[in-house]
Structure 1
Amino acid sequence: MPDIMENRDVNTDYTGGYVPTDRKKNNGLDMDGFLKILAASMANPSFDGSDGGGSGGTDYITQMVTFATLEQLQEIGGDLEYTMMMTHQQQAIGLIGKTVSVMVDKDNTVEGVVEQVKFKGGIATIVIDGKDYLMAQVSAIGEVKKEETEEPATPETPENPEVPTP
């Protein structure tokens, strides 16, 4: 039986949607690192005899609370980014079968029915007439009405007895 890994033509870059990654990026200091620095600062006062560089005990607590708040805000930001991506994907899926207009460049638009939605790295693209377009290119949803060239209907006159004359 052939080994699956022998097939080298498989595209392994495609994720098929959003794949959550470890959101705790190494952006510097984490809570454990902060506490180690805080403990070292408290254990080793400054050379001039002050209690750790002139900071009081409440300053350390304030710094820790500020650091914890920042850490939580970063986590909320990651959650918000994930939610936005999922919303974007759902909007794209909702366009399947609908007529849309997309801006190809500043002077050209393409109108057609969304045939399918593709995802690469969590980013949704729509397919119209076999060509891929980004969701950001969508300029209108639904058929674009052409300007009517018919003359407006004339109001009822004495020849048309349905409207009373003054």
Structure 2
Amino acid sequence: MDITAINNASALQRSDSPKTSAPALGYDNFLKLLLTQMKNQDPTAPMESTEYMAQLATFSQVEQQTKTNSKLDALLSSSALAQANSIIGRTVTSADGTISGQVQSVRIFDDGVVAMLANGKELVLGSGIAIS
């Protein structure tokens, strides 16, 4: 495969992908890259069709895993919201007993849940927290 074809395909990927820390290769970009690879292959040693099918199968598996992860994240967020909602109005006590109070509201972050207590204190909900 010729270098300009690779550079053109890479530029195509960068311009179409969202601005994130890790560039994502979408299905359309993958097909464009595959077509570019097919157009620019060495005619004296063409790639086997089984190699193309293996590439498509691998991409399909990765795409399905990405969708599964996205749905799992949504399910976990929904579960966290339901659990957080269930402690509003209840009394929570920290594992060491130093912070206690009635939960007025709850804030959910990527790394955990923080209960806002009626006495103005905050308590990170985690292991060892007593809820009554």
Band of TM-score, shorter chain:
0.5 to 0.7
Distance 2:24 2:56 in 1: 15
Q: State which structure, 1 or 2, has the greater radius of gyration over its C-alpha atoms.
A: 1
The equivalent position to 1:93 in structure 2, one of 73, 85, 99, is 85
Aligned pairs (5 A) from 1:41-80: 41-46=37-42, 49-51=44-46, 55-80=47-72
* Alpha-carbon RMSD: 2.7
Structure 2 portions without partners, runs of 5+: 1-16
Q: State how far apart, in whole Å, the 1-side matches of 2:80 and 2:72 are.
A: 12
* Larger relative helix fraction: 2
Match of residue 115, structure 1, among 104, 110, 113: 104
How far is the alpha carbon of 1:124 from its aligned partner? 4.4
Shift of 1:69: 1.4
Question: Do the aligned partners of residues 85 and 108 (structure 1) sit closer, same or farther apart at CA in structure 2, a change above 3 Å counting?
Answer: same
2:129 aligned to which of 139, 142, 154: 139
Q: What percentage of aligned pairs have identical amino acids?
A: 28
Q: Could you tell me how far apart the structure 2 residues matched to 1:59 and 1:109 are?
A: 63
Q: CA deviation at 1:41?
A: 1.6
Q: Give yes or no for contact 2:87–2:103 (8 Å, CA) kept in 1.
A: yes
Q: 1:131 to 1:138 in 2, by over 3 A?
A: farther
TM-score (norm 2): 0.68
